[in-house]
Structure 1
Amino acid sequence: MGAALADQGVAVERVEGVANRDALADAGIVDAALFLLTDARQATAIPVAKDLNPDLRAVVYARESVPEFVRGQVDLVVDPALLEPATVAEELAA
């Protein structure tokens, strides 16, 4: 997904390892327009990211579902089996 977004001209920052508050802040989440999560096991990062940047658009691109407590904070969930990265990136970049 990161490469597909970069191909659309979107600046991409990645968080390696655990997406905790410090890692998200270091990646620039405070100034970001979009938070794309590709590992549903890291879903707790969504409320943390939204706390740091309430205007952030949170998108999950993963086969696994996100926990119930996170669903209300997610703007869009996409199953990779249904849409290819290039298609999703084109829509997100628009």
Structure 2
Amino acid sequence: MSEIVIAGGDPAGLGGALERQGATVRHAEGTADRPALEAAGIEDADTLVVTDAGLATSVTVALDCNPDLRIVFYTRDSVPEFIRGQAGHIVDPAVLDPDTVSEELLR
């Protein structure tokens, strides 16, 4: 079973789509700083989904806690250049719906 942490809001409903596919989804509250990521279980997660490009620095912190994380940005915002190289996927919700993304992530 996949364990996924979402940093940022979830207006598109990706968390629900992932749960319907059998994933365990937790949310890193607020600015997704280290305490919030740890409270959400980042150490045991398979994937970090960032839904707000303004929280891009949370990727560095998350990878410090769990270097094996897969990083996914699911946002309409432009992802900062400094973090793009660490992202496995950058997806615009206007291009792919949550159900399609969840199927791909959990394949």
**TM-score grouping bracket, smaller chain normalisation:** over 0.9
Q: 2:72 is paired with a residue of what secondary structure?
A: strand
Give structure 1 regions of 4+ aligned residues with deviation exceeding 6 angstroms.
none
**Structure 1 gap segments, 5+ residues each:** none
**Higher fraction of helix:** 1
Please give the root-mean-square deviation of Cα atoms over the aligned residues, in Å: 0.7
Q: 2:28 is paired with a residue of what secondary structure?
A: coil
**Higher fraction of strand:** 2
Residue 88 of structure 2 is aligned with which of 56, 65, 75?
Answer: 75
In 2, Cα distance between equivalents of 1:21 and 1:2: 21
- TM-score of the two chains, using structure 2 as the length reference: 0.85
Percent identity, aligned pairs only? 55
Corresponding residue of 1:52: 65
Q: How far does the alpha carbon of each residue in 1:39-60 deviate from its partner, in whole angstroms, 9 at most, with x for none?
A: 1111111111111101000000
Residue 43 of structure 1 is aligned with which of 56, 68, 82?
Answer: 56
In 2, Cα distance between equivalents of 1:22 and 1:15: 9
The answer to whether 1:93 aligns with 2:80 is: no
Deviation at 1:16, TM superposition (A): 2.0
**Structure 2 gap segments, 5+ residues each:** 1-13
Amino acid at match of 1:58: I
Corresponding residue of 2:9: none
In 2, Cα distance between equivalents of 1:24 and 1:6: 19
Amino acid at match of 2:82: F
